Amino acid sequence: MANQLRWDGRVVVVTGAGNGLGRAHALFFGSRGAKVVVNDLGGSAFGAGASSSAADKVVEEIRAAGGQAVANYDSVEFGDKIIETALKAFGRFASLQFFNNAGILRDKSFARMTEEDWLIIQKVHVYGTYKVTKAAWEVFEKQKFGRIINTASGAGVYGNFGQVNYSTAKLAVHGLTETLAQEGAKNNIFANTIAPLAGSRLTATVWDEGMLKLMKPEYITPIVAYLAHESSTSNGRLFELGGGWAAEIRWNKTLGHIWNTGPTFTPEAVAAAWDKVEDFKDSIYPRTNRDGINALQIIEASQKAPENP
């Protein structure tokens, strides 16, 4: 097809590519010319054990379909080894891009959550995303090109009962993305976050058959593939995806209220104007920290000046 988006000559690393979303992404990129690194530790959805078979099966599938792929079995905590596999197999200065997708769950109410449940989730999702990205960053800067897709979750954006460890980690993943997007832009390194919804072993225990069918991982892949293509200009964005649907989520801030900081600045004065702090009637959509500060100056000029002659 003349207008087909392709990844010929590009190396695409997908972490946690032995199952679910990562597997769907890896198979797709293998079919579109990419040299794929299929990383998977091969443990349980709970984060126990390890095995090479999950990654090996996906590599076999890609090769059987005529594509190129290598396996890597390291935990994302050793992200440098994953990038090393990519560079060894496909060339030291190969054009590289990747998906931080690996993940596990340790769902428990906060009262029942152990220190281990907390730490393992931060280690896999936050530290793992950092480690793979850190190892690839120098390559990205040299090649003046990079596309990073980090995988968060609606649980991180909205919170979710029983997932305090996971929601903390997943929102952190988006914080990481937002700053990488700003630091990478000058070198054509773009980073975006997805909050997917898909039928996989992580959702199989909570969704019914109908929902699992509607929300196949394959219904997310074309969207992340577009975002990962060199032609895509999205950067630092957060998208919620599932079942063939995509929508952007962004920060929305009220104009708020500024109090006169003289002797009248009391909790009672705060209470009297609190509805303005929570009133979204007039609001802004800041993209950077600076946007927030600029907005404060505008509000200050419009609200505070008359009160402080």
Specify the stretch interacting with ligand NAD by CB under 6 A; choose among 2-10, 35-43, 60-68, 262-270. 35-43
Restricted to residues 199-258, the positions that interact with ligand NAD (CB under 6 A) are 200-203
Q: Cβ of 49: how many Cβ atoms within 10 Å?
A: 9
In the bound state with ligand NAD, the residue whose beta carbon lies nearer, of 96 and 241, is: 241
In the bound state with ligand NAD, the residue whose beta carbon lies nearer, of 45 and 94, is: 45
Among 85, 153, 167, 235, binds ligand NAD (CB under 6 A): 153
Greatest Cα pair distance in the chain: 77
Name the minimum Å distance from CB 110 to ligand NAD.
Answer: 19
Name the minimum Å distance from CB 89 to ligand NAD.
Answer: 17
Distance of CA 53 to the CA centre of its chain: 26
List C-alpha distances in Å: 217 to 84, 153, 199, 280: 28, 14, 6, 35
Name the minimum Å distance from CB 194 to ligand NAD.
Answer: 8
In the bound state with ligand NAD, the residue whose beta carbon lies nearer, of 94 and 157, is: 157
Residue 127 DSSP one-character state: I
Q: How far is 139 from 233, CA to CA, in rounded Å?
A: 20
Nearest residue to ligand NAD by CB is 20
Q: How far is 45 from 105, CA to CA, in rounded Å?
A: 6
Restricted to residues 66-105, the positions that interact with ligand NAD (CB under 6 A) are 75-76, 101-104
Q: How far is 32 from 195, CA to CA, in rounded Å?
A: 24
Specify the stretch interacting with ligand NAD by CB under 6 A; choose among 38-46, 178-186, 253-261, 299-307. 38-46
Q: Does 18 bind ligand NAD (CB under 6 A)?
A: yes
Among 26, 54, 225, 258, binds ligand NAD (CB under 6 A): 54
Name the minimum Å distance from CB 19 to ligand NAD.
Answer: 3
Among 79, 146, 184, 196, binds ligand NAD (CB under 6 A): 196
Phi, psi of 61 (to 5 degrees): -60, -45
Sheet of 10-14, strand order: 68-72, 35-39, 10-14, 95-100, 146-151, 189-196, 238-242, 245-249
Q: Does 197 bind ligand NAD (CB under 6 A)?
A: yes
- Told to judge if 166 belongs to the known catalytic residues of this protein, a careful annotator would answer yes
Helix or strand or coil: residue 215?
coil
Residue 304 DSSP one-character state: I
Q: Per the residue annotation, which of 73, 130, 166, 219 is the catalytic one?
A: 166
Q: Does 30 bind ligand NAD (CB under 6 A)?
A: no
Residue type, 74: D
Specify the stretch interacting with ligand NAD by CB under 6 A; choose among 2-10, 17-25, 141-149, 223-231. 17-25
Is 171 in contact with 156 (CB distance < 8 Å)? yes
Is 28 in contact with 228 (CB distance < 8 Å)? no
Is 69 in contact with 39 (CB distance < 8 Å)? no
The catalytic site residues sit at: 166
Chain residues in the site for ligand NAD (CB under 6 A): 15-16, 18-22, 39-43, 45, 54, 75-76, 101-104, 124, 128, 151, 153, 196-198, 200-203
